[in-house]
Structure 1
Amino acid sequence: MHTTGRALAALVLVVGAAACTDDGEEPPADAQTDHVALELSVGPGAGDLSTQARDELQNDVGAVLTTYVVDAFLGDYPRDDFVEGLDTFTSGVADQAAADLNLVTGAGFGKDVQGVTATRLSATIASFVPTGEVVGVTASVDLAFDVEAADGTTSELTRRGRLMLMPDDGEWKIFGYDLTTEPGGDS
């Protein structure tokens, strides 16, 4: 497995940016620690890539996964709009993902949610490199969130499985998914 500090630093910045306020002011010092950073490692398939190509792959795919998690699961609660979480999907699978909104976003956490905090975000990407160029990856993900209900109780809800990504018009996008949730994870 290969993990670079540069990729993790970029991901921390993306997750930290989600905690920023809309008025341009810096959030309180403790707001930056409300969420964990995505731990991303490169698994099988990337062995023949140069270090630079592996780093670029990790940075590019990591940025998409982080954006997905931030848009689909984190943010201000209570909320009813989770559609922005589908922006990281290809147009070909976005309609299917919209039908599975309770699974692929925080919409399935319940109607009385007051806050969501990421407690574990990890992914290992396996690359498909048939001719020396990465044409697709499968990210095995393990995402855990503390979900605070209106009555003050907190429960851990997870999404585990696979997200399949491919380059789409110069950007990495999710073109398939196979996710599960712990029992009781959807309301």
Structure 2
Amino acid sequence: MIREMNHRVKNLFSVVSAMVSIAGRESDDSQELANSLRNRIHALGKSHALTLGQPHDIDRAVFLSELIDTVVAPNLSTQTIEKTGTPLALSNSQITSLALVLHEWATNATKYGALSVPSGQIEIAWQTEDNMIKLTWIETGQMEKPASDPSVGFGTGLISAAARQLGGSATGECTSDGYRRTLTFEDNGVVH
């Protein structure tokens, strides 16, 4: 048990260290850097809390739908989110990386996408096939599209790193009325 705890703590420190390094390279303003890191660390803490459960509930499964609610719901006001997919229990090793991806997507949606306009909608769907899980995030509604920037920003780098930790990959693209993002990652064989 102590070995597992040490392993988890080391992983969290590695994630936080990577977040600080990437953010340091991308930020010109110390206040912006501090706020960005604080929000990401808070999301990381909330998602990590899902893995802990109550003492009498140590083996409680964390479902993808629950993780989505935990990470994305604080950004909602009048917008709607529709989730579709069979119940998917996550392994503890997947939760942190998935939470970081969802947090980045929700942050982008809040700044520019469906969560930036009152009538915005997000459809989140998942399915399993050939030992892989495909998570699709489709936004409808957006503020004026930001100018395209060919450089890879902090969020994009963090999503790519998290996807690699999950044994997968992530893509994203603008659509005519929003955004479409996809994360494909290894199915760890947790009961569905």
Q: Tell me which interval the TM-score lies in, with the shorter structure as reference length.
A: 0.3 to 0.5
User: Normalising by the residue count of structure 2, what TM-score does the alignment of the two structures yield?
Assistant: 0.38
Higher relative helix content: 2
TM-score normalised over the length of structure 1? 0.39
